[in-house]
Amino acid sequence: MESIRFNTRLLLCLCILYSTYSYNVTDEDLLFKDLFTNYNKELRAGNDRDYPLNVSMSFYLFAIKEFDEATSKFTVNGVFVTTWRDERLSWDPTNYNNITRTLMSQDKIWLPNLVSTNPFEDIYGLGSSLVKIYLYYDGSCVWTTMQSFEVICDADVTNYPFDKQYCSLNFVSYGYGEEWMKVTFTSSKILLTQYQESGLWDIEDTATFSRIANGLTEVVVGLNLKRRSAYYIAGLVLPMTIVAILQSFVFLLPNDSGERVGFSVTVLLASVVFLTIIQEKLPESSEPNISILGFLLFGYVSLGVLVTLCVILSSNMHMYEESKPVPAWLRVLFCLKRNKVDEDFSTGSTIRVASKEESRDEESISSSWKDVAKAFDRYCFISSLSLYALQFVIYFAIVL
């Protein structure tokens, strides 16, 4: 029974204490009237004008929204948390029923004027009319500005799709130099506690810092990005290489099939389609360098054109007339056996061997150009495969 009475008294005391220290809207309204009487938001915060105002910042990255290399558009979602102290907005909590903090619109007080210096389209600053600022009794202001930041980021696509990029959000405090305002970051890195992983980019490193540029305080938030290349290897580089190598196998098709030229041209067109796809993804500018992948595909297409020409030449050799002799240099080049002939020294003319030997020699003469075409196909097949493989190896040796 005694314990119940004790608990009841304790609860009553707590309720009385809570009601004593709680405040209502009248108290907060009175606080606002007193704070903004004779307050001029055009004047920089800070009573001591001989020293710059200390502004502390941190940046939380939420997501990488977009990175379009062709247009150099880089978009991220994040939030800046900015704190400073304005002594004009301080108060004694005991005079306002123990109010220790309140919320107010950012339009009512002085703000650090930070404006983007590398916007993609329109110039913009931090915050909006919808943002509220936490104001504490000692004059401390906490300004949380969540935005979607669109900036220009010139992509270096030299090693695409194994490239690394550096993009940054740059802001300058126009009108406030180093003698007026000093900006520091609570962390030298971007805070990634709320970050959602991007499907296309890995964040290798980040940096947040302020510096003096042309007498103005500049705030920089930088990201070192590395492209996730697995998708591009499986969906672009390997299919492109396989299609290119497939063209070499045209030399294994029989010349009598009549499909060799059509097959070669079809595969060549497929390589051109891949080239078009890649060119659409890359920026038109050639600075600082053109993508090495573009050179690789250009090599594939050029070799494909050469393969097509060789196929046409091989088909022509296969259709040469039987009576046309094979030049000696071709026999040597392709290691072909010399035709058997028998010379009649009595008449000074060359005659073919009679009966069965004559028929065998005639058959050898009629098939000699076909032998040249077959040997030429073998040579082109091995050479083209070697050249495709060499290009592929050189490309990966450069980009990796």
Instruction: Domain ranges for the chain, please list them.
Output: 24-228, 231-399
Of 307, 282, 309, give the one whose Cα is nearest residue 295: 282
What would the pLDDT profile of 83-97 be if each residue is shown by its tens digit?
A: 999 999 999 999 999
In the chain, % of residues over pLDDT 90 = 34
pTM listed for this prediction: 0.75
pLDDT above 80 for 133: yes
Which has more pLDDT, 154 or 325?
154
For the ranges 7-21, 216-230, 299-313, the lowest mean pLDDT is seen at 7-21
> Quick check: 207 and 351 in contact, CB under 8 A?
no
Provide the pLDDT for residue 272: 82
Q: What is the pLDDT of residue 49?
A: 80
Pairing of strands 342-344, 349-351: antiparallel
Task: Name which of 337, 246, 235 is nearest 281 in CA terms.
Answer: 235
Residue 352 pLDDT more than 50? no
- pLDDT at position 345, please? 37
- Partners of residue 191 on adjacent β-strands: 60
* 6 pLDDT more than 70: no
pLDDT band at 157 (very low <50, low <70, confident <90, very high): confident
Give the pLDDT confidence score for residue 167 in this predicted structure.
Answer: 95
Average confidence score pLDDT of the chain? 81
Neighbours of 10 (CB within 10 A): 10
What is the mean predicted confidence (pLDDT) over 274-291?
Answer: 71
Choice among 20-24, 166-170, 217-221, 246-250 with the minimum mean pLDDT: 20-24
* Percent of the chain surpassing pLDDT 70: 81
Across 142-169, average pLDDT: 91
pLDDT at position 237 is 86
Sheet holding 201-213, edge to edge: 114-116, 164-173, 216-227, 201-213
Beta pairing class for 181-185 and 53-68:
parallel
What per-residue confidence (pLDDT) applies to 127?
Answer: 82
Q: Which amino acid is residue 107, in one-letter code?
A: D
Q: Are 394 and 264 in contact (CB under 8 A)?
A: no
Give me the mean pLDDT over the 367-379 stretch: 77
CATH number of 24-228, picked from 3.40.50.2300, 2.40.160.40, 1.10.3470.10, 2.70.170.10: 2.70.170.10
- CA dist list (Å): 209 to 45, 184, 188, 293, 398: 22, 7, 6, 35, 33
Determine the average pLDDT of the residues in 228-250: 87
Task: Report the alpha-carbon distance of residue 326 to residue 372 in Å, rounded.
Answer: 8
Q: Is the pLDDT of residue 348 over 60?
A: no
Q: Which of 116, 117, 147 is nearest to 131 (CA)?
A: 147
Radius of gyration of the chain (CA): 40
More confident residue, 343 or 369: 369
